[in-house]
Amino acid sequence: MTAPAAKPTACLALADGTIFTGQGFGATGDVVAELVFNTAMTGYQEIMTDPSYASQIVTFTFPHIGNTGVTEQDDESNDPVASGIVVKWDPTEPSNWRATSDLQDWMRRRGRIGIGGVDTRRLTRAIRQQGSPHVVLSHDPDGNFDIEAMIAKARNWTGLVGLDLAKEVTTRQSYHWEGGLWEWPGEFAPVSETKPFKVVAIDYGAKRNILRSLVSVGADVTVLPATATAEEVMAHEPEGVFLSNGPGDPAATGEYAVPMIKSLLEQKLPIFGICLGHQMLALALGAKTVKMGHGHHGANHPVRDIDSGKVEITSMNHGFAVDAQSLPEGVRETHISLFDGSNCGIEITGQPVFSVQYHPEAAPGPQDSAYLFSRFADSMRARRTSGAA
């Protein structure tokens, strides 16, 4: 005799009325957000703590989520920023020597909702065909759900277009970052003893491993809030400026970020941007951004370097993209996605100013693009050698 199925304790309601039920874990309650899917096979903790996922719920296409547990060393920010997660199989007990806790308890303590037992293939197919939907995710141990109210809440949510989320996830005050990349047997590398390059990093939602990557190529990193002015940046006498990743609609964040970046461009400083920082730079140069159907989220996205023809496998997390057709004269496209041909990189001709749409620090993901941090350091080194600094 087959045992009766467990009563659902979690429910995912899409704005079109589609309902998915499963077993809840983590925190209880409900949350409204945009639903995306991520194709990475590792790094769920880094994904959950990536500030670029603000106001988004992540569907993992890989079924084994939670099997390596969690450790504070893998946090990309102080707390999870993604609103919740959807997984195929309920997280199991972790089996990893670095684990200090399990995923379910970590999410409960950090106030994030999860749902397991969902047909993630069907859900991912729906997202690919219809675009990232607005959804409500609810976890109630008693299994009591007001389905109609959940659907109505999802339909009434305004979504990410026009929403400036960088202000919500950015640091509230400036700080100095120390520490390089993780090294065996489990420590973060110290700051280089050689004279470092003074770099100001604008925090639109910066991941810690991005800052560590800057340190690893010889940067002395000062992090400033997303709303920092050009005068505040230049007060630190930087040799280069880094524009970080982050969430939300770039056009909304650009209301205050674009004027600042335009002023910095007049200083002829080396500038390096990624993800939202890439989009901010493009907007400052006169280009436009557009909302994508379901965006790019994963650690296996192929990108082609237009000049060399080299293909990099990259880590991506973005729902907006730079419209390559809107790039002005003097700004050239350097990288394109081999999935859909969307823009993945730009540079100013003849200037040490460039940016990419993906996350070259590889947390999580492959390390094909780590050379970009060295390129940034080389541009600062060249400026220092020329006496322009």
- The sign of the torsion formed by the CA atoms of 230, 233, 239, 242 equals negative
Residues 6+ apart with CB under 8 A from 368: 312, 313, 314, 362
Q: How far apart are CA 350 and CA 343, in angstroms?
A: 20
- Tell me the C-alpha distance between 53 and 41, whole Å: 17
Q: Give the integer Cα–Cα distance in Å for 22 and 20.
A: 7
Cβ-based neighbours of 288, under 8 Å, separated by 6 or more: 282, 322, 323, 326
Name the CA dihedral angle for 375, 378, 379, 381, rounded to a multiple of 10 degrees: 160
Geometric angle at alpha carbon 326, from 353 and 308, rounded to 5°: 50
Nearest in space to 139 (alpha carbons), one of 98, 111, 163: 111
Strands 187-188 and 182-183: antiparallel
The residues that are catalytic are 275, 359, 361
CB-based contacts of 178, cutoff 8 Å, min separation 6:
190, 191, 215
**Which helix (H) or strand (E) covers residue 298, if one does?**
strand 289-305
